[in-house]
């Protein structure tokens, strides 16, 4: 983004905000907003401040282009453009990476209704169903990138990861790339667009390593105790209840225990 007008157009389009809808929020005609984005008109400072609030733009950026262009206490939802011939376009994520010197990128793997399905898919060429990408920038803004079509998965994920590493190496950026399998309850929230920032803060807090959750480690510990014949029934019950609260069906939990306890 070379100037404020380009940033505003980028922020509006990447967040899936229609020009007409934004113009109504600002009390402008669509023609006036279009003329501003195209460099043919100006807007008052008050209107720009209101516009910044609508698009999660940092109000400080209006007068200081050296600060982070984005700022929000909520999740910033962005969508990948899609082209009929060119396919998936990950330029919106790459643009945010370009704006930061350090950030954390987490690929979000969906959890289906069945452990069996997830297990079968993991052994195919598909590998995983990547539902979206979570990005935390240098100022702790949290972005959720996904396809605009509800429930659609990402394609070309390995190419995207390679591209992010290429940008990091080229520009000397610190980019951490993780992959996490989502608790089913959070997968559902992302599907229906009800996920909030607190959901993702909890997700990042629970992770103790690359793609590993504290609950996973606790489950492994219980499995080991079962194998040794010395498990604590109360501890097991509490663990199962905790996993169930995350969205796992009790049948899935029992299947996990049964499979991992096989000799």
Same domain for 125 and 188?
yes
HSE-CB of 255 using CA atoms within 13 angstroms: 12
Q: Choose between 235 and 174: higher pLDDT.
A: 174
Same domain for 114 and 201?
yes
Whole-number Å distance between alpha carbons of 145 and 76: 8
Same domain for 81 and 195?
yes
Beta-bridge partner residues of 104: 136, 176
Same domain for 43 and 108?
no
pLDDT of residue 263: 55
Joined together, the tokens standing for residue 213 give 């959750």
Residue 151 CB neighbour total at 10 angstroms:
12
Assign residue 157 the CATH number of its domain.
3.40.1530
1, pLDDT greater than 80? no
Query: Is the distance from CB of 85 to CB of 120 less than 8 angstroms?
Result: no
- 54: three-class secondary structure by DSSP: helix
Last residue of a domain, one of 19, 40, 71: 71
Same domain for 4 and 37?
yes
> Can you give the pTM of this predicted structure?
0.74
Same domain for 96 and 179?
yes
| Residue labelled with tokens 């996990």 | 256
> pLDDT above 70 covers what percent of the chain?
68
Same domain for 59 and 87?
no
Taking only the tens place, the pLDDT of each residue in 159-174 is 898 899 999 999 999 9
* Helix (H) / strand (E) containing 232: none
Same domain for 57 and 84?
no
Query: Is the distance from CB of 142 to CB of 214 less than 8 angstroms?
Result: no
Number of DSSP helices (H) and strands (E) in the chain, helices first: 12, 9
The band of 181, judged by pLDDT with boundaries at 50, 70 and 90, is confident
Joined together, the tokens standing for residue 62 give 């209006």
> pLDDT above 90 covers what percent of the chain?
46
> In sequence order, what are the residues at sequence separation of 6 or more whose Cβ sits closer than 8 angstroms to the Cβ of residue 11?
55, 56, 57, 69, 70
User: Residue 242 is part of which domain span?
Assistant: 211-263
Number of domain units in the chain: 3
What DSSP line would sit under the chain, residue for residue?
Answer: --SHHHHHHHHHHHTT--HHHHHHHHT--HHHHHHHHTTS----HHHHHHHHHHTTB-GGGGT-TTS-SB--SS-EEEEE-EETTTEE--HHHHHHHHT-SEEEEEEEE---S-HHHHHHHHTSSS---EEEEEEE-TT--EEEEEESSTTPPP--HHHHHHHHHHHHHHHT-EEEEEEEEPPHHHHHHHHTT---HHHHHHHHHHEEETTEEHHHHHHHHHHHHHHTT---HHHHHHHHHHHHHTT--HHHHHHHHHHHT--
Same domain for 197 and 88?
yes
Last residue of a domain, one of 178, 193, 210: 210
């Amino acid at each position: 983004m070379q100037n404020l007008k380009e940033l505003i157009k980028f922020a509006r389009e990447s967040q899936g905000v229609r020009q007409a809808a934004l113009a109504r929020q600002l009390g402008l005609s669509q023609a006036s907003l279009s003329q501003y984005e195209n460099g043919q008109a100006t807007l008052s400072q008050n209107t720009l401040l209101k516009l910044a609030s609508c698009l999660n733009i940092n109000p400080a950026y209006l007068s200081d282009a050296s600060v982070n262009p984005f700022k929000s206490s909520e999740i910033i939802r962005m969508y990948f453009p899609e082209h009929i011939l060119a396919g998936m376009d990950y330029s919106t994520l790459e643009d945010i990476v370009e704006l930061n010197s350090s950030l954390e990128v987490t690929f979000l793997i969906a959890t289906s209704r069945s452990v069996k399905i997830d297990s079968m898919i993991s052994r195919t060429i598909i590998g995983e169903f990547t539902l979206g990408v979570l990005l935390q920038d240098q100022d702790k803004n949290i972005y959720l990138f996904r396809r605009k079509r509800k429930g659609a998965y990402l394609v070309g994920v390995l190419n995207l990861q390679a591209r992010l590493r290429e940008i990091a190496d080229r520009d000397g950026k610190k980019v951490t790339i993780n992959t996490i399998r989502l608790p089913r309850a959070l997968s559902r929230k992302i599907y229906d667009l009800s996920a909030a920032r607190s959901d993702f803060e909890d997700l990042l807090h629970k992770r103790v390593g690359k793609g590993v959750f504290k609950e996973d480690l606790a489950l492994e510990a219980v499995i080991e105790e079962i194998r040794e014949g010395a498990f604590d029934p109360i501890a097991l019950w509490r663990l199962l209840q905790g996993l169930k609260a995350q969205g796992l069906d009790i049948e899935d939990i029992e299947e996990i225990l049964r499979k991992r306890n096989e000799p």
